[in-house]
Amino acid sequence: MLPPLFSLMVRMRGYGAALALPILLAGCAAIPASGPTGGEIRSQVKADTSHLGITLVPVTNVADLPRPVVAAPVFAPDYTPPAPTEQVGVGDVLDIAIYESGIAVFGRSAPAVAGGEANFDAAAKAERLPPTRVSDEGTINIPYIGELAVKGRTTAEVEKLIRQALRGKSQNPQVLVAIREGLTNSVIIGGDVARPGRLVLPTNRETLTDVIALAGGNRGEIKDMAVRVQRAGVTGDFRLSEIMADPAQDIRIFPADRIALVKAPRSFSVMGAAGKAEQIGFAAPQVSLAEAVAQAGGSNPNTGDPRAVFVFRITKGANGEDKPIVYHFNMMQASSFILAQRFAMTDKDVLYVGNAAANQPSKLVQIVSQLFFPLVALQNAGIF
């Protein structure tokens, strides 16, 4: 007894071509495909039954290319300039050195001699106090002087304040004050840098790339790095590659800023009848559509339609709403190759190559051939 499927195939040999052809043509709708054709995409976008507000842009000249987006400054340009680097603030650690000549308060004094006269060494003596931290109240405590308010004063003003406090206690004291750990003039930097942590700004005029360099540099590839800067409740996100390429984006860093370097590779997805369907990372800071098509293997010569190359992109409107846009390229036109070189891909773009409508009959023939090949082989073998 023949299997059911084999019996069915044998019985189909008796049907006429007039009956088989409509059945086979009806099966065209079920033929496997990697996606819609270019005509189907254009008609669906124009109909926009999903109510997404999709815009179709046929790219035929330079005017149709998307304009470069110039981001508005994240931080106000009139941001209050920071205090001078020599100004003392809460949490700062000070190095204080007091130089005395003659009878010293902090140094060793010579013993008294007969007659009540002091025998002293005229050479100057220096006394370095232990590192002194400025309290939360903005004060420091000095032996023989007591508490001094130093918050908001420069190191020169603190030196003068200590000298005046020692008047009458020491003979011609000289004072040197330096900021050992300047928390007031520091930032916090973390993420993918060589030396994360608190970083003191030497001049308070450092730019973002200066601070990254002072922290030992980034540990990942520049093209994959994103930088986030937090300042006074405002957050700004930047691409390190764009900052390096455009010095105008290299913003100035201010004390109390918080900086984080995060590895955030950019990529685009390839779908449809391309040479390969996959997610491809940006090989460089800027990738053109021509480079993206080449990385995707171009249009599949067996199933793809070079006249139906689309880029699906979601942009932001004036009010921050999503605006889907579909750019259409006809790569059978020579001008499209020039335009593709000037079309910049962006992160999370979808590159789609449409299926060729002319390939549907050939696919049907392949399916029919695969269906009836066993019968022909069996017949040639003399089984029936």
Note the pLDDT of residue 240.
93
pLDDT at 8: 44
Regions of the chain with pLDDT less than 70: 1-34, 70-71, 77-83, 102-125, 358-384
Is 175 in contact with 89 (CB distance < 8 Å)? Answer: no
Residue with tokens 């100035």: 252
CB 125 within 8 A of CB 107: yes
Cβ–Cβ < 8 Å for 199, 181: no
CA Rg value for the chain:
39
Beta strand residue intervals within the chain, DSSP E: 55-58, 93-100, 125-128, 132-133, 139-142, 146-149, 174-181, 186-191, 197-200, 225-231, 234-239, 258-263, 267-272, 279-281, 304-316, 322-329, 350-355
CB 218 within 8 A of CB 189: no
Task: For residue 312, give the nearest of 91, 35, 125 by alpha carbon.
Answer: 35
Neighbours of 83 (CB within 10 A): 15
Q: Give me the domains of the chain, ranges plus CATH numbers.
A: 38-67+267-359 (3.10.560.10), 93-109+121-181 (3.30.1950.10), 184-263 (3.10.560.10)
**Residue 335 phi, psi (nearest 5):** -65, -25
pTM of the model: 0.67
Over residues 265-281, the pLDDT tens digits come to 999 999 999 988 899 99
Q: Can you say whether the dihedral through the CA atoms of 163, 165, 167, 170 is positive or negative? A: negative
The Cα 141–Cα 134 span in angstroms is 9
